[in-house]
Amino acid sequence: MNSVIDWLERHLLPLANNLASVRWLVALRDAFISTLPISLTGSVAVLIKSLIIAANRNWGWHVFYQLMQPSISICNSVWRGSVAMFALFFVLSWGYQLAKACEVDPLAGAMTALCSFMMSIANYSYLMQGNKRIKLDQAFNIKQLSTTGMFTAILFGGLGVALYILGVKARLGLHIQTAMPPAQIAAFEAAIPVMLALFIVGGLNYLFQTITGQYFGDWLLEIIQLPLLKLGQGFIMVIAITALTQLFWFFGINGASALAPVVGSIWATAQNANLLAAANDHKIPYLWTNTSFVVFGVNGVCLPLVIAILLTSKRGDQRTLAKVALAPAVFNVNEPMLYGLPIILNPVCFLPFTLAPLANVSLAYLATKLGWINRVQASVPNIMPPVIGPYLVTNYDWRALVLSSVNLVIAILIWLPFVKAADQIGQTDEPRRFFMPQY
């Protein structure tokens, strides 16, 4: 076991540290994180609307349904102003975070990213009149501003900000020496770099449209985005991301944050597409999303350990820590066990800490694939308890309660032998704390 951990420490830890130090990846991660309020707001709107509709369809609460019609209209408006425009909010945050990471004006970076994105999507839409399709020029299809435009936002938004940053670093701005307000000085200094960046992006889009006859956003959706989203739905990808997340955490690196650029661009996009489908009462398109990964895999990773210790451990030190950590673990706050037991860099914990989430994710993936539970249709805060969270994100599917309860039991059973092993280690090595073995 020690040789395996040594090998991982030599090869995996440097990779994780390198990922965590790349400013572009950190900015991309922070951009996804900063849009969380938008996703949560849209999810709550969909959940409230779905609850009202379910009360009418399943419980016969017709009077309640009629009284709550204004609430449904409000939820529809909230959804249109949040998740339906997700790529728009994301590209603003992406430009802001990237400019901030490179120590240039973040507001100018956000506006540059937004302009670059809007130049790269189609400025026409189609209106169906019977069987006839009518083209409307100078009209944006709102779908392009949702998750459909995510990859375009990442690529062209990032390109625009990169060009702006290069212009600033090359000192191409207008340097004003007069006593102007700070905001006005910043605007003048950003003017030329922003102008150059946008004209270059505009020129690239013109060349692309001339050569291919398509807008970049439409082409990217067909050639790259849809195949990548499909790849992200594969079982091997789900297992690989879960395993890497746990490995990073084992070495004290936030695995979810380290892999956020990959997970966000694929699974967060799928999640918001599911949310859009649920809001429009359409078929839910994607089997696995970012929330699936969280609620069925890595979020409540320490709660099974706490329960296993309270059930079987005879060591007072472990039981005391488990009692203290129980309430935080119920709300997915894992730090008391990660750093207090500790789990990090603890050879005894390595296997169960990795295997329990893999088993949970595998069962959840199979159940979703076979249609035993609804696909994820909403997002919930990370502090949502492990059993309640799946129930909410699957649009009040009672089968998700059963699945999450079974997953919790499986994880506890995986941890139990290692808790007993820790008891034996403690008997032979009393001065050492908790799970730490004798070397």
DSSP 154-186: HHHHHHHHHHHHHHHHTT-S----S---HHHHH
Specify whether the CB–CB gap between 373 and 288 falls below 8 A: no
Which residue positions in the chain have pLDDT lower than 70? 1-21, 58, 124-130, 136, 176-179, 225, 252-255, 257-258, 260-262, 339, 345, 425-439
Instruction: Give pLDDT, residue 253.
Output: 65
User: How confident is the model over 275-326, as pLDDT tens digits?
Assistant: 888 877 788 888 888 777 777 777 777 889 999 989 888 888 788 888 888 8
Tokens 């996804």 correspond to 32
Q: Which amino acid is at 323?
A: K
Specify whether the CB–CB gap between 305 and 337 falls below 8 A: yes
- Kindly list the distances between the CA atom of residue 276 and the CA atoms of 45, 146, 271, 366, 407, in Å, as whole numbers in the listed order: 11, 9, 9, 24, 28
Q: What element of type H or E holds 128? A: strand 124-129
Residue 124 is given by DSSP the state E
Q: Rounded to an integer, what distance in angstroms lies between the CA atom of residue 347 and that of residue 427?
A: 18
Instruction: Give pLDDT, residue 5.
Output: 53
Q: Rounded to an integer, what distance in angstroms lies between the CA atom of residue 402 and that of residue 38?
A: 29
Residue 287's SS3 state is coil
Specify whether the CB–CB gap between 54 and 396 falls below 8 A: yes
Specify whether the CB–CB gap between 298 and 256 falls below 8 A: yes
- Residue 35, both tokens: 């849009």
Neighbours of 43 (CB within 10 A): 27
Neighbours of 286 (CB within 10 A): 22
Residue 200's SS3 state is helix
Instruction: Give pLDDT, residue 9.
Output: 59
Ranges of H-type helices in 170-234: 182-212, 216-220, 226-231
* Adjacent-strand bridge partners of 128: 133
Q: What element of type H or E holds 134? A: strand 132-137
Instruction: Give pLDDT, residue 68.
Output: 87
Instruction: Give pLDDT, residue 64.
Output: 86
- Residue 18, both tokens: 């390198």
